[in-house]
Amino acid sequence: MTPIRHIVFDIGSVLIHYDPDLPFSRIIPDEAERRWFFANVCTHDWNIEQDRGRSWEEAETILIGKHPSHESNIRAFRKHWHEMVSDAYDDTVAIMLGLIEKDYDVTMLTNFASDTFADARKRFDFLNRPRGVTVSGEIRVIKPENAIYERHTHDFGLEPAATLFIDDNPANVEGAKAFGWNAVRYKDAPTLLRDLASYGIVI
């Protein structure tokens, strides 16, 4: 097995917590109504297009045209986005920083809208510590599409066989493996430490 030299971190639900319910439990207090709103209005498929580079203005215009009675709640999604990323996973952040200090080549690869990522970077300084990041909203390609792994590999000069990717989404993990990276699914910090150890990486 080729020794791992490059370690690539996902961000949302790996380094920082993300949960739209945090603001929306206040905005739409009724749980059934809130679940309906996320299933039919501000859906995952709608939100992922902002990660692909669509502007929030266009995204809101599209939804308000379809659901005019929900305009205020649609606009609340971006307005209160900062509340959705409430805190960092400090134990996982410590692992990442420890890898950097041990001279591993650490980068990040994330499905993130460009403007909200800029906001996150201001709030969470550790996002500025790795060598660099590929943000889907900036290059208009999202995980698990093959092209995003190819782009990250090219831009950062990675050797695929010497690369380990960490992501909470099984589809993204499998996409990375299909491209030729090693990859593990993030569950929690203790599991990540065991996964790293299985590749001979001890912090």
State pLDDT tens for residues 33-77. 999 999 999 999 999 999 999 999 999 999 999 999 999 999 999
Question: Mean pLDDT of all residues in the chain?
Answer: 98
Nearest to 74 by CA among 31, 24, 109, 5: 24
State pLDDT tens for residues 78-108. 999 999 999 999 999 999 999 999 999 999 9
Q: Is 30 a residue whose pLDDT tops 90?
A: yes
Q: Is the dihedral of CA 155, 157, 160, 164 positive or negative?
A: negative
Q: Is 188 a residue whose pLDDT tops 90?
A: yes
For Cα atoms 164, 181, 161, give the angle at the middle one, nearest 5 degrees: 90
State pLDDT tens for residues 114-137. 999 999 999 999 999 999 999 999
pTM of the model: 0.95
C-alpha–C-alpha distance, residues 37 and 45, integer Å: 13
Largest separation between any pair of C-alpha atoms in the chain: 57
Nearest to 43 by CA among 17, 16, 69, 70: 70
C-alpha–C-alpha distance, residues 117 and 111, integer Å: 9
